[in-house]
Amino acid sequence: MRLGDAAAPMIPSRELFMSVESERGDAFVVTPERAQAPTNSRAFSANAAGELSPSALGALLEGLPNAALVFSADGTLQAMNRAARAFAIVDALAPITSQRVDVVLARVSDVAIPLYHRVRQGERLSAETHFSVELERWLDVHVTPMPAAMLLVTIADMTDREMQRARLVRVERELEALLSLSASSVRIADAHGRIVRTNEIAAAEHDDASPATLRALWERDQPHHLDEDIAIPFASTIAMRALAGLTVRRETATVRRNANREPRVIESSAMPIVDESRAVIGAVIIERDVTASQFLERTLDQEVLRSAELESLVLTEADRIEQIVEERARALAKREEATSRDRRLSAIGQLAAGVMHDVNNALNPIMAAAYLLRHHAESPDAVRDYADRIKKAAETGAATASRVGRFIRQEPLHPGTDELLDLSALVDEVLELTEPMRQRRASERPEVTVTRDYDDDARIRGLSGEIREALFNLVANSMDAMPAGGTLSVRTGVEFGDAIVTVADDGVGMTDEVRERAFEPFFTTKGAGGSGLGLAEVYGIARRHRGSVTISSAPGAGAAVTMRFPLDLSRSVAAVVEEPDAKTDPKHILVVEDHEDGREFLRRLLRAAGHTVDAVGSCAEARERLASPSALLYHVMLTDVGLPDGSGWDLVTYVRTRFPALRVGVITGWEPMVSGDDALGAEFVMRKPLRAAELLSYIAGRKLPAQPK
C-alpha cells in the first residue's frame, strides 16, 4: 500500500496543527526541526474530521531539510521524506504501513533504535548525537512524540561538524603543547587588544594578576628603547603594530616587571593573525628575557676593546720577543746536541772499555803463547800446546766480538737462515747442559731445585744456537741470584698469539735502578766475575728473532725474565741434516778477500787441504777471473762482503746469474746484513774469525744448512 491509499489510517489534522506553528503566511514549521513546508502543496489535504492523509503527511515531511520518518504506536512506518532514503530500508513493493521500525532503521540501529525505544517508554530525550559504526558517520538523531501516540524521527548527518570539532580540539591541544614547550613568554590577543591566551612563562612575569589587555600590559611594563632610554608610545609597541598588520622580529627594549621594578631587557617578536579574507583578527606576541646575554655582550665588547689595546702593545714587542725565542731555541738546541753527544760518547766509551777489557784478556795469552812458541819451536808438543792455547784465546775474542755485534746491530733473521724450534725442547737441553753446574754448586752451597711447566704449542722460527745461548745466560743468572738456594722455575706457553719462555727464581731480586740498566752492555753487579754481556746478549737475540724480553723483579722477591717470540703455527719441526761421511775431493776455488794477510791465510789453508786456489782482492779482479775460460773449472767461490770496489753480495748475485752451477760461500767480519734473496743466493755464510774445520766441512759439502719446509 502506498502513500495516499484509501486503506491508510488518517491522522487527525487538528492535533497535528497543534504541533505546527505558522512562521510566515506561506509555510508551516514543524517543531522541533522548524522545517518549512509550503501551504500550497497539492499533497496536503484534510478531511472534514481534521485528519491528514498519509500523502499529505509525506508532503509535509518533504519540507524538512533532514531525513524524517513518522511511526505509529505499534512501530509501523506511516510516512517518510526523500532524505530518509539514505538511512532507511523500505520495501517499495510492500505497503508502507507494513514496514516495521526495527527493519526500516536497521542501518542506523545502533544509534536510532535505542533512542526510539527510550522515548517510547516515556523518557524525555528529544535528541542525541552518536557515531554509526555501520555507516561510519556522525548522526544527530531526534525522536519527538506526536499526537495519536506517533513518533517523529529525524536524522541529520553531522560528520562534517564533528570532524571540524575534532580538528578544533586537536588544534587546541597542539597550541597548548606549543605554548607549554616554548622557552619564551607567549601572549595571544584579539583584534580589540584583549589578551585571550598566555603560556605559563607569560603568566608568571608579573607578581600579581597578569594584565588582561595590551594597554594594561604597556602601562605595567613601561617599555623604553634600549639604546636611547626613551619611552615607547602604546601605538608604537610591537603588539599594536602586529594588530595593524605588520610582522616585527627581534626588537629589544627595557621593561620593569618585578616587585623591585628593576629594568630587564627583553627581545620581542609579533605577528598578526588573519582570517580567510586576510583581515587581522588578532596577534601573537613572543618575548624573551635577554638581560644576561646583553650583559655578556656588553662585557665582550669591552673585552674586545681591551684586547685591541693589548694587541697594539703586543705588536710593538713581537719582533723583540720573536728574537728572544729564536735565540733561546738555538741555545736549547745546542745544549741538547751537546748532551746527546756526551751521552753517545759515554755509551761508546763504556762499550769500548768493555770490549777492550775482554779483547785484551784474549790477546794476553795469544801474545804470551806466540813468545813461547818462538822459544820452543823445536818441541812439537810445545808447539801444538801453544797453538791450541792461541786458538782458544782467539775463539774467546771472536765470541766477544760476535756478542757485541749481535747486541749493537740486532738485525732480524731472514728467510732461509732459520728453522722451526720447540721452545720446551730447547729449555730441556739447556737444563741438561747446566746440570753439572748445579751438582758442583750443591757440594758447596744450598741446593737449587728446578720446576718445569711446558706447553707443546710453544713453537717459533729461529736459530737454535742463539736461543740456547740466551736460555743458558738466563739459567746461569738465576742460579747466581740464589746464593742461599731456592727454586728455579722454567715455563713455556702461548699468550696473545706469541710463544713465551719464562725463567724465574726466588733469589735476591733487583732494585729498580738495576732492572732498568740490566740490558746495558758491560753493566754487571757481579764485579770481576761478570762480563756484563749476558742480559745484553739475551736482549739482542730476542730482537733478532722479532721478539722482546721483559724483567719483573723486586729486592728480596726474586726475578722473572720473559722472552716473547712470534708464534709459528706449523706443526712439524725441521729435520736436522746429517753430515754424510765422504772423502774430500780436490776443488778449484776462487777466493775474493781484500785483506792481504787474510787472503794469504785462506790460500795456504785451502791448499794444505789439497785444493787449487786463485785469490784476488776486489770485485773487478773476480769478474775478470770469472770471464776467463778457466772460470768453467771453478767449483767454489769464497767472497768477503766489504770489498774496496763493491759489495760481496753484488758479486754473489752476479755469479748466480752467470754461473748457476758455481757454489758460493760468504765470509764477513760483521753480523750478516742480507735480504732474503741474498741469503738464498749463498750456500753458506761464515763470520770471521774462521774456524778451519768448519770452513773445510762447508767446502766438502758435508755441513750444509737445513732448508726450511
pLDDT along the chain (709 residues), means of 10: 37 36 31 35 38 72 88 89 89 86 87 84 74 82 84 87 85 78 84 87 78 88 84 90 90 79 84 90 88 79 81 77 83 77 57 59 64 73 75 66 59 62 88 74 75 89 82 85 85 90 88 77 58 71 86 86 87 44 74 84 85 90 86 86 86 88 83 51 79 83 50
- Given a contact cutoff of 8 angstroms between Cβ atoms, the answer to whether 296 and 283 are in contact is no
Determine the Cα–Cα distance for residues 150 and 169; give it in Å rounded to an integer: 39
Distances (CA, A) of 689 to 4, 400, 408: 142, 11, 18
Name the DSSP letter for residue 271. E
User: Residue 321's pLDDT is what?
Assistant: 83
User: Residue 25's pLDDT is what?
Assistant: 31
User: Residue 46's pLDDT is what?
Assistant: 41
Determine the Cα–Cα distance for residues 54 and 420; give it in Å rounded to an integer: 117
Q: Please name the residues in contact with 417: beta carbons below 8 A apart, sequence gap of 6 or more.
A: 463, 672, 679, 685, 705
Write out 315-328 in H/E/C secondary structure.
HHHHHHHHHHHHHH
User: Residue 355's pLDDT is what?
Assistant: 62
Instruction: Please state whether beta strands 35-38 and 642-643 pair in parallel, antiparallel, or not at all (unpaired).
Output: unpaired
Q: Please name the residues in contact with 680: beta carbons below 8 A apart, sequence gap of 6 or more.
A: 415, 416
Question: How is domain 419-566 classified at the CATH fold level?
Answer: Heat Shock Protein 90 (3.30.565)
What's the CATH code, domain 588-700? 3.40.50.2300
Determine the Cα–Cα distance for residues 128 and 113; give it in Å rounded to an integer: 12
Determine the Cα–Cα distance for residues 237 and 124; give it in Å rounded to an integer: 56
Strand-pairing partners, residue 198, are: 187
The CB-side HSE value for 702 (13 A sphere, CA atoms) comes to: 13
Q: Note the pTM of the prediction, 2 decimals.
A: 0.36
- Residue 269: all three cell numbers together: 617578536
- Given a contact cutoff of 8 angstroms between Cβ atoms, the answer to whether 506 and 479 are in contact is no
Question: How is domain 182-289 classified at the CATH fold level?
Answer: Beta-Lactamase (3.30.450)
Letter for the amino acid at 52?
L
* Three-state secondary structure call for residue 387: helix
Letter for the amino acid at 658?
R
User: Residue 272's pLDDT is what?
Assistant: 93
Query: What is the CA angle 143-144-145, rounded to 5?
Result: 125
Determine the Cα–Cα distance for residues 273 and 264; give it in Å rounded to an integer: 28
User: Residue 579's pLDDT is what?
Assistant: 43
Name the DSSP letter for residue 231. B
Residue among 180, 211, 184 nearest 195 (CA): 211
End-to-end distance of the chain based on CA atoms, in angstroms?
Answer: 113
Laid out side by side, the sheet with 636-640 consists of: 612-616, 588-592, 636-640, 663-668, 684-687
Name the DSSP letter for residue 534. H
DSSP per-residue string spanning 504-519: EE-SS---HHHHHHTT
User: Residue 501's pLDDT is what?
Assistant: 92
Instruction: Examine residue 32 and say whether the peptide bond preceding it is cis (omega within 30 degrees of 0).
Output: yes
Cα Rg, the chain, nearest whole Å = 58
Residue among 528, 485, 489, 475 nearest 507 (CA): 485
Strand-pairing partners, residue 29, are: 21, 36
User: Residue 502's pLDDT is what?
Assistant: 93
- Given a contact cutoff of 8 angstroms between Cβ atoms, the answer to whether 177 and 199 are in contact is no
Name the DSSP letter for residue 42. T
Distances (CA, A) of 179 to 166, 248, 275, 284, 442: 20, 19, 21, 11, 94
- Residue 147: all three cell numbers together: 499526537
Determine the Cα–Cα distance for residues 505 and 479; give it in Å rounded to an integer: 8
Burial of 358 (0-12, 13-18, 19+ CB in 10 A): buried
What's the CATH code, domain 11-162? 3.30.450.20
Letter for the amino acid at 412?
P
